[in-house]
Amino acid sequence: MPVDPHINVAKDSDLSPMGIYRLLPQTNCKICGETCMSFAFKLLKKEITLGKCTPLYEEEEYEEDRKALEEMLRPLMEAEMTETGLVIHEDLCFGCGNCVVACPVNVAEDPKGCAIGNGPTSDKVILKVENGKVKAANIESCRRFGEHRILCNACITPCPAKAIEFPGG
Ligand code: SF4
Ligand code: SF4
Ligand code: SF4
């Protein structure tokens, strides 16, 4: 049963299961496969990603709490973040290669390897599957990098495992 929504504090910086829980929808809908509380524990242990809670992204009423959660979780992600904010959750990635063929930089740098799905052969690509997990390189070529960066999401949306994210938005 949801707890009193008045305990939600959008700017809560308490990086703890309860601090996270307070900013979740608290509906226990189990779309993520967990209850809200176990989702909070798993987020803290980096066993699940925020994107698995789809109501946070799809329902306007949760937008403020989602942004607060992204901010709260940022320190947890920073160790794994590239300079563009890209985080790859290797524990979730199963090497399907969807992101590899979807990245416009990959396709531009290696049209034969990426566009027809053979896998990249160029060393200029950003995303490449190695030993069943995707790895990032040449991150300065990413469209989110530098002065003229854009909010490219091409590698995030086709990932069935929600293994790629940009926690900073
Ligand atoms: S999807 Fe979100 S709201 Fe639903 S149970 Fe999981 S954490 Fe709670
Ligand atoms: S954000 Fe865009 S350019 Fe950067 S790695 Fe992902 S798909 Fe490629
Ligand atoms: S789309 Fe997701 S699961 Fe597939 S290789 Fe990329 S990160 Fe891994």
pLDDT more than 70, % of the chain: 85
The more confident residue out of 49 and 19 is 19
Looking at all shown ligands, the one closest to residue 35's CA atom is 1
Domain-ending residue, one of 23, 55, 77: 77
- The mean per-residue pLDDT over the stretch 32-37 comes to 95
Range of the domain at 130: 87-165
69 lines ligand 1 (CB under 6 A): no
Atom 3 in ligand 1: residue holding the nearest Cα: 25
Q: Give the count of domains, the chain.
A: 2
The answer to whether residue 82 is domain-embedded is no
Same domain, 159 and 133: yes
Question: Is the whole-model pTM more than 0.75?
Answer: no
Query: Residue 80's pLDDT is what?
Result: 64
For residue 36, pLDDT over 50 is answered with: yes
pLDDT recorded at residue 155: 95
Residue 108: inside a domain, yes or no? Answer: yes
pLDDT, one tens digit per residue, over 91-102 is 889 999 999 999
- Give the long-range contacts of residues 7-16, CB within 8 A, separation 24 or more: 8/65, 10/64, 10/65, 10/67, 10/68, 11/68, 12/68, 12/72, 13/71, 13/72, 14/72, 15/44, 15/72, 15/73, 15/75, 15/76, 16/44
pLDDT tens for residues 110-130? Answer: 888 776 666 778 889 999 998
Q: Is 53 in the pocket of ligand 1 (CB under 6 A)?
A: yes
Mutation to probe ligand 3, out of 49, 164, 165, 166 (largest number of atoms < 8 A from CB): 164
Q: Model confidence over 13-28: pLDDT tens digits?
A: 578 899 999 999 999 9
